[in-house]
Amino acid sequence: MPRRIPISGSRRSVTGEARKALQIEGLEEIHDRLAAIKNAVTGRQVKDVYYAAGRRLRDRARANAPYDPGRKKGIHLRDAIFVDWGEENKPNVLVGVRYGLADLTGYGIIPGTGAPHAHLVEYGSARTSAHPYMRPAIAQEASAIANDIKQGLLKIIESATK
């Protein structure tokens, strides 16, 4: 039989008799189940869920990005949009635009490896008009991404409770 745990409150909000009479049964069982879920779920599983959501955002941003098939110089903006695992020990992923690859010889950025003009396309400048691609992608995919994360985490929790 589960242990009964009395509930206490401030003296003004709950009368003494009510505090003595009110008890919640099964609290210890809930605590044990939550602890089992926490121990069964790995950071990798959660990261996989976030990474899938990040891919959705990346793909939408790529679809929104302007594309010129005749461009010969550098890489296309859409090809510089990426999703990355982020820090291994944190439950996050990174979605962004690669500016360029770091030159390991210490001379800065390797030309032609990223899209250093990405912010100018997104926000515009004094000479060019804005062609947003990332902000609309976030707005277009926000509810789907939230749902993907919700469903993914629910699957993880359900599998951990079996």
Q: For residue range 16-36, what is the model confidence (pLDDT) as tens digits?
A: 676 667 677 788 888 877 877
DSSP, residue by residue, 86-146: -STTSS--EEEE---EEETTTTEEETTSS-TTHHHHHH--SSS-----HHHHHHHHHHHHH
This prediction has a pTM of 0.71
Mean pLDDT across 33-49: 80
Q: Return the residue matching tokens 């589960």.
A: 2
